[in-house]
Chains A and B, each alone.
Chain A
């Protein structure tokens, strides 16, 4: 019998589990909001239909607006589920070539709500040349998530954090305060550097 399971990724189990739990909580919260909007718009259509049966005039523009809102939320849900599917299937394969730009885009999307809660904007810089590493994609995501969570929790509210893929590292820049990062102990290959326009947090992947 062939064992199709991937070998365990080289990421501490607590880091991986925390990543799964945090992403699942965030995405399920997003989906709840989508469902709530569709629920209200569906209810509004029922209300308008009920009023029309009682003789109230139907406003076609109002119906159009409600339908557009529902269609928009269906697109939003589809985007959320596509991201979740990509994230979930990252555990399917053992080590494989990983494009660091794609990795940054995915983790930044997954962390979008977490950042928004602190009014922080996440951007991903496009590298001049493709940055490929041969690693377990899920393990890389979990490590980058932990860095990003640390960065989001430490950076000033309202700032922009930039994820910068490099040859064998991802740098997160945009802090104007990093004191708490220096005080944190972590088993991850993270360094905080002070060069450039501001402090930077770098995840070394080599």
Chain B
């Protein structure tokens, strides 16, 4: 399974990618929306885990652009922002909406649910 992680907190997203890789997932990461779009153009990702609030392009905007170009890609929002508005918007556009900090086993369970639901 190939996973794209996008978050402007470089130390968070790089460490999460390393931990997912240790568990046998192919995890790439980006700290900008532009670089995430470039990575998605080069590789086929099963699921993208996106931060809701990023400088410039928001997670919601990035999700819309990725979904348009890669209709099979599934999405999970992972955010430090816990507002009701963001929860509603994020839940509409992604399979799951998780609030940081999140246990890696919970994230992996949600990733698997998302991809398996896609396969059915």
Interfacial residues, chain A to chain B (CB-CB below 8 A):
25, 28-33, 35-41, 43-44, 47, 51, 66, 69, 72-73, 116-119, 157
Contact = CB atoms under 8 A, between A and B. Distances in A.
Given A32-B100, A33-B80, 9 more contacts: A31-B80, A32-B81, A35-B101, A38-B101, A39-B102, A40-B101, A44-B15, A69-B11, A118-B56
B101 A32 contact: yes
State the 3 A-B residue pairs at the shortest beta-carbon distance, nearest first.
A32-B80, A39-B101, A36-B100
Given A29-B80, A33-B12, A36-B9, A117 B101 contact: no
B51 to A, nearest CB: 9
Contact of B53 (A35, A66, A73, A117): A117
Interface in B19-70: 19, 22, 53-56
Contact of A40 (B15, B54, B81, B82): B15
Contacts of B53: 29, 117
A54 to B, nearest CB: 12
Nearest to A40: B15
Contact of B12 (A40, A47, A66): A40
A39 B9 CA distance: 13
Contacts of B88: none
Interface of B: 9, 11-12, 15-16, 18-19, 22, 53-56, 80-83, 99-102, 104
Looking at chain B's contact residues, the main secondary structure is loop
B103 to A, nearest CB: 8
B102 to A, nearest CB: 8
Nearest to A29: B80
Contacts of B83: 25
B92 to A, nearest CB: 21
B29 to A, nearest CB: 12
B3 to A, nearest CB: 15
Contacts of A31: 80
- Chain A CB within 10 Å — which of B16, B82, B101 has the most? B101
A66 B15 CA distance: 9
B16 A40 contact: yes
A35 to B, nearest CB: 5
B53 to A, nearest CB: 6
